[in-house]
Structure 1
Amino acid sequence: MVQEFVDALNANDQDRLFAALTDDATMSDDGVERNITQWTGSEVFGANGHMRVESVADGGTDLVADYTNSRWGSMRTSWRFTVRDGKVARFETGQA
Structure 2
Amino acid sequence: MTIATDKLSDPTVRALVAAINANDRAAFLALLTSDATMSDDGTDRDLAEWIDREIFSVHGHIEVQTESAGGQALVADYRNDTWGEMRTAWRFTVDGGRVSRFETGQA
Scaled to the shorter chain, the TM-score interval is: over 0.9
Residue 31 (structure 2) aligned to one of 20, 23, 33:
20
1:54 to 65, 78, 82: 65
Deviating 4+ runs (over 3 angstroms):
none
How many residue pairs align between the two structures? Answer: 96
Q: Give me the CA root mean square deviation.
A: 0.4
CA distance in 2, matches of 1:14, 1:51: 14
* Percent of matched pairs sharing the same residue: 54
1:87 aligned onto 2:98: yes
Q: 1:1-36 deviations in whole A, cap 9, x for unaligned? A: 011110000000000000010000000000010111
Q: TM-score, normalised by structure 1?
A: 0.99
1:74 maps to 85
Aligned residue for 1:71, secondary structure, equals: coil
User: Match for residue 49 of structure 2?
Assistant: 38
Gaps of at least 5 residues in structure 2 are 1-11
| Alpha-carbon separation, structure 2, partners of 1:19 and 1:35 | 17
Amino acid at match of 1:48: H
Deviation at 1:75, TM superposition (A): 0.1
Residue deviations 1:25-82 (CA, integer Å, cap 9, x gap): 0000000101111001000011100000000101010000000000000000000000
Unmatched runs of 5 consecutive residues or more in structure 1: none
2-structure distance, mates of 1:58, 1:88:
15
1:3 aligns with 2:14: yes
- CA distance in 2 between counterparts of 1:31 and 1:53 reads 20
Bigger fraction of residues in strand: 1
Give the whole-Å Cα distance in 1 for the aligned partners of 2:17 and 2:31.
10
Give the superposition deviation at 1:85: 1.2
Residue number among 63, 68, 77 corresponding to 2:74 in the alignment: 63
